[in-house]
Amino acid sequence: MRYGDLPELFKFDLELKGEGVIRIAPGDKYYHRTGKYYVVVIADFGFADLFRDNYYTFTMSWRTENTVPHLNAQRLNPVVTQPFKFSYFRHYVQDTTEDIRISLMSKVGAQDIYVALGGSQAGKRPDNVTYDFTTKFMKGGNYMNGKALLLPIALLQNTNSACKDLGYAEEESCILYIGIQCMESVQCLGEIEVDYESRTPKRIYSG
């Protein structure tokens, strides 16, 4: 990463190897209130990879610390949460005919989902005390690796009238507030996805 110009292999301001987070706080050497930060991603390949038709995939996101990022539907979004802390997201509901599934795939550390419905008493930052939906009581063989919540659209509509016609022009919008809690003494890593579920029964195939 470099401020003001494209970074080069030996000419950059900040560097991140592998998974992780770069934070730039006020007072840091590379903190700037205006202008542009440029990011270049270089594959960390070995000599044998030069003779293979390989490709690399990754996910990258950015946000300011004082805003809650929006989760787009049908895509995996990275979640990095500090020990015993929460990461927060929001999702503007886009479909009033299908239920909503929120899935969390944990890579490092045990994590739980907490959801507050816009317009409910749970507020905009759900936690392990105040929430409308949670995974904290879910147990099972894959409990540490992944979990999911299914939110009935009818319940959202009964809680928040804006969810009946998605009246975004109104003062209140149909929003889900999502909190991810890291329950470890080390940084938790994972991926979260919001998807819309058809109420039509689906066949499940094995294999």
95-112: pLDDT as tens digits: 888 999 999 998 899 899
Q: Please give the residue that has the higher pLDDT: either 205 or 61.
A: 61
Residue 4 has pLDDT above 60, yes or no: yes
CB-CB contact of 71 with 91 (8 Å): yes
Residue boundaries of the structural domains of the chain: 1-58, 77-197
98-148: pLDDT as tens digits: 999 999 998 899 899 999 988 787 788 999 999 999 998 876 555 567 888
Classify domain 77-197 at the CATH topology level.
Jelly Rolls (2.60.120)
Question: 193: closest CA among 107, 108, 105, 114?
Answer: 105
Strand partners, 100: 151, 196
